[in-house]
Chain A
Amino acid sequence: MNKGELIRFAEEQLTEKKKLPVFRAGDTITVKYKITEGNKERIQDFQGIVLQMSGKGSYKTFTVRKISNNIGVERIFPISSPFLDDVIVNKRGVVRRARIFYLRKLRGKKARIKERRR
């Protein structure tokens, strides 16, 4: 076995498999994220557009952007995080690139993404 296979084996053993839906840049998703306040745990929603998927293996993350009170907010979630409870895909978008950073410069009607229909 080569080095990459051995590292992947170790990663697979250490991270519990989560069943997340398939999504990509341009999709609108709701991230259910576990938050501990004191000793209470609750689930917080973060809804926005996926800007990019980045990394691989146990380092894989995705960036979600939303406009909150007229201020753009971006959050990066590690896929292997135990605090990531679930992801719900609200809308699938049509975009031509894997990383849609151009969205940061757009506001209002221009920041719309066409919905993908099948």
Chain B
Amino acid sequence: MSGLIGKKIGMTSFHDASGKKVPCTVVEAGPCVVTQVKTKESDGYDAIQLSYDDKKEKHTSGAMLGHFKKAGTSPKRIIREFTRFEIGHQKKLGDIVSVEEFKENEFIDVVGTSKGKGFQGVVKRHGFKGVNDATHGQHNRMRAPGSIGASSYPSRVFKGMRMGGQDGNRRVKMINLQVVKIFPEKNLLLIKGSVPGPSGSYLILERWM
């Protein structure tokens, strides 16, 4: 596996060689710093810890300052661990992982936090149809869930019954997204189609071998 932390910049589109319009998302990916290398001997498992996006020293706790100092880097905002980083990798503490970790036209997975929609009813949250009649005795039931169970047996509502609640603002992973283009000089990555979350939100990019 190979991974990177990035930031969603926004969307654009361009015409490919055949003249088709390709919608794509611009992602600023890396450069990330290796802030810790975990090994089986010392930690029980193999992993690499990457950090991304500078933050001010005064906003960093003393303990974290020492952690970043060990890697010889400025304090970072986002820290994520990547397990099973390419077998036989030569990543050392303080190494910089850049967008060149990925190649054009290969497929990656993107993890983000979806846009928050607040407390939503079942029609928006679970795709219920609601009541399809505006007449025949309906007046305030148009988007109601309907029955949520039977009567004296089982005398309760089953666990996991789909109801209203918080929608969005959760971890979403999209798999097999195509990398269209890479601009290493600006750390930019173009991904075909859309990715979860609002512009400016953080993303985790992964490629499994």
Contact = CB atoms under 8 A, between A and B. Distances in A.
Asked if chains A and B come from one complex, the reply is yes
B88 interface: no
B28 interface: yes
A6 B186 contact: yes
Interface residues of B, number: 16
Contacts of A81: 15, 19
A59 to B, nearest CB: 7
Contacts of B181: 10, 13-14
A2 B188 CA distance: 13
A10 B15 contact: no
Interface in A1-29: 1, 3, 6-7, 9-11, 13-15
Contacts, number: 46
Contacts of B186: 1, 6, 9
B12 interface: yes
User: A interface, by DSSP: helix, strand, loop or mixed?
Assistant: helix
Contact of A13 (B13, B15, B28, B183): B183
A57 B10 contact: no
A33 to B, nearest CB: 11
Contact of A82 (B13, B15, B190): B15
A6 B15 contact: no
A83 interface: yes
A15 B190 contact: no
A80 interface: yes
Contact of A57 (B12, B183, B190): B12
Given A6-B26, A6-B188, A11 B15 contact: no
Contacts of A7: 9-10, 12, 26
Given A7-B26, A9-B183, A82-B19, A14 B14 contact: yes
B149 interface: no
Nearest to A57: B12
A58 interface: yes
A6 B199 CA distance: 12
A69 to B, nearest CB: 29
Contacts of B190: 10, 14
Nearest to B190: A10
Interface in B87-143: none
A10 B188 contact: yes
B14 A80 contact: yes
Contacts of A11: 12, 14
13 contacts: A3-B199, A3-B200, A6-B9, A6-B10, A6-B186, A9-B183, A9-B188, A10-B181, A10-B183, A11-B12, A15-B15, A58-B13, A81-B15
Interface of B: 9-10, 12-15, 19, 26, 28, 181, 183, 186, 188, 190, 199-200
